[in-house]
Structure 1
Amino acid sequence: MTNVATYLDYNAGAPARPAVVDAVVAALAIGGNPSSVHRAGRLARRAIEDARETVAETVGAEASEVIFTSGGTEANNLALLGAVRRGLAARLIVSAIEHDSIRAAAEGAGVPVALVPVDRDGVVDLDALDRLLADGQGPALVSVMLANNETGVIQPVAEVARIARGHGALVHSDAVQALGKGAVDFSALDVDMMTVSAHKIGGPAGVGALVKRAGIDLLPLSLGGGQDYGRRPGTENLAGIAGFAAAAKCLGGDADVTALRDRLEREVLAQVPGTRIFGAGAARVGNTACIGLSNVKAETQVMALDLAGVLVGAGSACSSGKVRPSPVLTAMGESEAVARSAIRVSLGWASVAGDVDRFLAAYIEFAGRALQARAAVVQKESNHG
């Protein structure tokens, strides 16, 4: 992928690191089922528990608090649905900018759901959260992401937890887009549950984890075996888990890409009229730029850049591959037209200055053509008016 194009869609999924590929191959070579008591089974079990220790250390948790899952979506569902079905929460309060896996799980949980609004920069309104917690009936579970997948805006999760504690509520945070882009410390955030995923940090797709504080007894989403201490039945994905741990070990050595992102944004704003950077007024993770180009749909921008050999994401892309108005940007008060104009440029572990150069060349050239075409249409309409 990165050998044939400039890849700038790390928030969707990062290219696998060489160390991860090696770890996956080594794990596949073990060949045993971690539940078996023979030698191969014991080796597989040891590999999983070593990986659990590594992931736990990476996120400031205890190994016993880490539940491996098939990814962030399953972990988010386990947190919300597992708590509701166990009777730990009679209502759910989630931010208006949460990932679809949180929003859909909340809507399907069968309990009242309230949305916490955000300001123009996409930061959750803490006073509104306090009011929602005070107004409702029954125990609540609050879910607020640590970093937004579209804008990169960092949420005040520790403050969310402090407010929730005052109302006796549980707190979950989706930290999938924060891991590897700054400090992610389960203990310091003081949340009850936290979601992380491997493929955003250069690990394999299809593996993640829910970090869960001791004493929070969730109802499993599936039934069957006693794997993961009865918390998540089913034979463990040994290769994926080993790859997750290998990616986690690499995080401390990654270069900071914030300077690259900042240069990209400065040049776009300086050279392309009508562009905006969403969330720029708030603290953000250093790899993400959410860029809007007035009156040019996101899918048009993404396809044009793809043809130029530069791969970026549409901030509003969903699992079907279609593009819709970004619910994040509409929650931030933007119009539907503006919310359809945003692309997401996200850098990562293998990004270099040349990637930014190639993006800028392609984007500035495309935007110039698009704006000229738009001006011609406006002029034609004016002449016929």
Structure 2
Amino acid sequence: MASSLDAAALGAVLKVQYNQKKVNNLCYRESSFFAKLKKNQKFGGKVEQVTFKYGNPQGRGAAFAVAQGNITTSVYDAVNVTRAKDYAFANIEGEMIDAAKDNEYALLDGLKSEIDGAFYTCARSIANSLFQAGGGARGKIGASTVLASTLLVLEDPNSVVNFEKGMVLNLSATDGTSGTKRTGTLTVVGVDRDAGTLTLNANISTVGSAIQGDYIFQNGDFETAKSMLTGLAGWIPFVAPAPGDNFFGLDRSSDPTRLAGIRFTQSSGGPYEETLIKCAARVDREGGRPDTVIMNPIDYGQLVVAMGSKVIIDNKQLPDADIGFRALQLNGPKGPMDVITDANCPSGYFYMLTMSTWEFKTLLGAPRILGETGDGLKLLRNPQSDSYQLRVGYYGNLLCDAPGWNAVGKL
């Protein structure tokens, strides 16, 4: 019997410790939307083809011969969705393994914090990406930012949840679905979560051609265009697709609603509850059965205050984790809708979803410990230092088989 917990044995223990339920408990707290998504771990092959039927045969009429002469076929189109990749790492020094020689679980306890942290970082990346268009943007430089300073004011103060001290940042004029990043990086040395500001290690102007309104990325997410998973802002964009659109090979401009969802804005403003009910009616008109509304916590708070005594809260339990969440119930045209919060949802907007049309499809689990070998080894020796590395990540993407049954709305 081995006298110490070596890398191979430790890999087997980690496999037991980090089962899927444990991972879900770690990650679901970071995103209500991710928690509610249907999961599928069989994303094999090169791409996943999602086919849409968005037109029916039009050979009809009161006059037989005329109707017969107008025969058309059903209209089909498809997107070929590729897998996105995302990684997070944890390191352990070789000395620590030797130091725990007589106490196997001392090593396991020491690793737990680092491994949980890697899962958290990967989960945060998924949570942010689920509301983005696939380019990896985490926020924008606000108009009040002085470029010749180290203080970056975020355009949406609530996007501060996407940043951490020590994060290395890139800037770009585009959201990462096209274009290139600017030359140079900045490092976050401080975060003011009340003010929605970042303090950086150098003046913002040290990044070549930086301007107010630039998009902000974590370094490594925008090496090539659209390298992150494509979230709600990609499937249901705030602006309707124009001719020339290329969404996984499909130009959706021929029928922007059925192929790219509904965009709803209350023309005269009005109470949040009224906006949501009218949007639900619009989704109903298009054939959807909306059952979930996702809002930023700040907007959700305003909705609850405005509804006052009409608020009905329902407790939800997740079957694959030991956690639950609370949802405000709002009656829609096709039944009750759960209104939930997600800190990654942009302020001033909401998503109204028919959840049966959405799926998070991955190659095996997500997130998970990567790099398992035949003997169960999950720790890799670092050839450049006396340390071992553990990798967490996933390969997959968000899929929707009926975009037109879903909406993005402006409050």
Alignment TM class, shorter chain as reference: under 0.3
TM-score (norm 1): 0.26
More strand by share: 2
